[in-house]
């Protein structure tokens, strides 16, 4: 099965400086909410134009309304706040960066749309296919493991999972009613479990990594069960993306056979831009009913990858799966948080254009 588009991207884009300034001024009370919304709308329209000019058909709002790839979800869902993560980011120089993640301090309820406003705005401003992105349910659990939930609120963890999954199903139903055809779930914890050091940390916390993988796949399947015909669901595997940093490394062999065959999604977006991702051998486990978007172009660095080298990488992947089932993209978003990765908007534009050039070179 071919992917929805041969050339795609993960979703987040670098925020222009005037959008960053507007968020800061709104927080300081210097501009009104209405003025902030005007800046958001203008910047999102510009981001849509950037994607269309690059030749992309899969269009997002750049996640410009969010503080980070997951914080919009935290803000929209009743019962969520933030606490320090048990895991942190690192880079090639040995540097580290900490962050705050989701924490459950109340009963989980969906009392408003989470991504519906994002979808509606993009649909009204493009002739392309709007894509919505959301974190997977594992986000709410993994980064604090057994300390992710106030057990006075949820003494029964089955009730926690049931309430969380119900929120996703309500949101997907609302998106379907609006005409959404493309939903991407961003999955970091499962990707992190490719790393033996992360699996060891999970085991040290008294949790079986294999059982946790089963639990997270089951949650994904519960979320998307009952999605309407015509809605494509993709799963983006990410090992961390914050100002050029990452949280894990390692090939997909530890998770690939189970994930590719058991996760009830149409498409897997896989990071393959560096040696940290391992080889293409795990692609042999992709069933004929699913497809893979190869994240070969780095969103972490400004250097533009040569087209001939990228083409060779696609051919290497084709040794392990039919290229009829493949597409290409950057390995992750360009700005999983407001700060963004260390490259410019012009660099971003060139890389998105290169994705389209690569897809044309391979598939015509």
Rounded mean pLDDT for each run of 10 residues along the chain, 364 residues in total = 94 96 94 96 98 98 91 94 76 62 96 97 98 96 91 97 98 98 96 90 93 97 94 92 66 96 98 89 98 96 97 98 98 89 96 98 97
Could you tell me the two tokens for 334?
A: 């360009």
Using CB atoms within 10 Å of the CB of residue 123, give its burial: 0 to 12 exposed, 13 to 18 middle, 19+ buried.
middle
Cα angle 51, 53, 54; round to 5: 65
DSSP notation for 222-275: HHHTTPPTT-EEEEEE-S--BTTBBS----GGGTHHHHHHHS--SEEEEE-SSG
Model pLDDT, residue 97: 60
Residue 141 φ then ψ, to 5°: -115, -50
Report residue 95 as tokens.
Answer: 């540097």
> 211 near 130, Cβ under 8 Å?
no
Which residues have CB under 8 Å from 65's CB, separation 6+? 40, 44, 72, 117, 118
Give strand pairing partners of 245: 242
pLDDT of residue 94: 60
d(CA 118, CA 162): 26
Helices 307-317 and 345-363, packing angle to 10 deg: 50
Unique residue bearing structure tokens 């070179």? 361
The reported pLDDT for the residue numbered 79 is 97
- DSSP lists the bridge partners of residue 249 as none
* Residue-level pLDDT at 68: 84
* Helix, coil or strand: residue 15: coil
Token output for 320: 């392990």
Question: What's the burial of 275, exposed, middle or buried (CB within 10 Å: 0-12/13-18/19+)?
Answer: exposed
Q: How far apart are CA 77 and CA 273, in angstroms?
A: 33
CA distance 121 to 197: 41
The pLDDT of residue 84: 82
In Å, the largest CA–CA distance within the chain is 57
Alpha-carbon span 293 to 139, nearest angstrom: 22
Exposed (0-12), middle (13-18) or buried (19+): which is 31, by Cβ within 10 Å?
middle
Q: How far apart are alpha carbons 194 and 246 in whole angstroms?
A: 13
Orientation of helix 196-204 relative to helix 209-224, angle to 10°: 100
Q: What span, in angstroms and rounded, lies between the C-alpha atoms of 135 and 73?
A: 8
3-state secondary structure of 107: strand
Instruction: Please report the pLDDT score of residue 328 as a whole number.
Output: 98
Partnered with residue 2 across adjacent β-strands are none
pLDDT at 36 (0 to 100): 95
How far CA 79 is from CA of 6, 108, 114, 139, 151, in Å, comes to 39, 5, 14, 14, 13
User: By C-alpha distance, which of 317, 318, 296, 299 is closest to 307?
Assistant: 296
């Amino acid at each position: 099965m071919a992917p929805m588009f041969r050339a795609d991207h993960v979703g987040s884009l670098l925020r222009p400086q005037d959008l960053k300034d507007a968020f800061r001024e709104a927080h300081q009370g210097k501009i009104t909410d209405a003025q902030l919304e005007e800046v958001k709308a203008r910047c999102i329209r510009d981001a849509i134009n950037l994607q269309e000019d690059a030749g992309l058909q899969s269009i997002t709002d750049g996640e410009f309304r969010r503080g980070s790839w997951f914080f919009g979800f935290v803000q929209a869902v009743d019962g969520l706040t933030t606490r320090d993560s048990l895991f942190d980011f690192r880079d090639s120089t040995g540097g580290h960066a900490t962050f705050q993640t989701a924490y459950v301090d109340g009963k989980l309820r969906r009392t408003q749309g989470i991504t519906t406003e994002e979808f509606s705005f993009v649909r009204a401003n493009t002739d392309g296919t709007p894509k919505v992105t959301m974190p997977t349910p594992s986000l709410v659990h993994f980064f604090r493991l057994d300390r992710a939930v106030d057990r006075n609120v949820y003494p029964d963890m089955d009730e926690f999972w049931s309430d969380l999954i119900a929120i996703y199903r309500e949101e997907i139903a609302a998106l379907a009613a609006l005409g959404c055809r493309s939903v991407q779930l961003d999955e970091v914890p499962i990707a992190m479990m490719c790393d033996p050091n992360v699996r060891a940390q999970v085991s040290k916390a008294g949790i079986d990594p294999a059982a946790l993988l089963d639990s997270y796949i089951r949650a994904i399947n519960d979320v998307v069960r009952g999605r309407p015909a015509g809605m494509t669901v993709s799963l983006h595997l990410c090992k961390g993306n914050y100002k050029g940093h990452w949280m894990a490394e390692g090939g997909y062999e530890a998770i690939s056979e189970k994930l590719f065959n058991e996760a009830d999604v149409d498409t897997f977006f896989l990071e393959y831009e560096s040696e940290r991702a391992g080889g293409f051998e795990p692609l042999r486990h992709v069933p004929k009913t699913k497809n893979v978007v190869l994240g070969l172009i780095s969103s972490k660095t400004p250097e533009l990858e040569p087209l001939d080298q990228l083409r060779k990488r696609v051919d290497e992947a084709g040794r392990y799966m039919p290229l009829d089932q493949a597409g290409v993209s950057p390995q992750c978003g360009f700005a999983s948080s407001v700060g963004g990765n260390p490259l410019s908007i012009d660099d971003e534009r060139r890389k998105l254009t290169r994705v389209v050039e690569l897809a044309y070179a391979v598939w015509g």
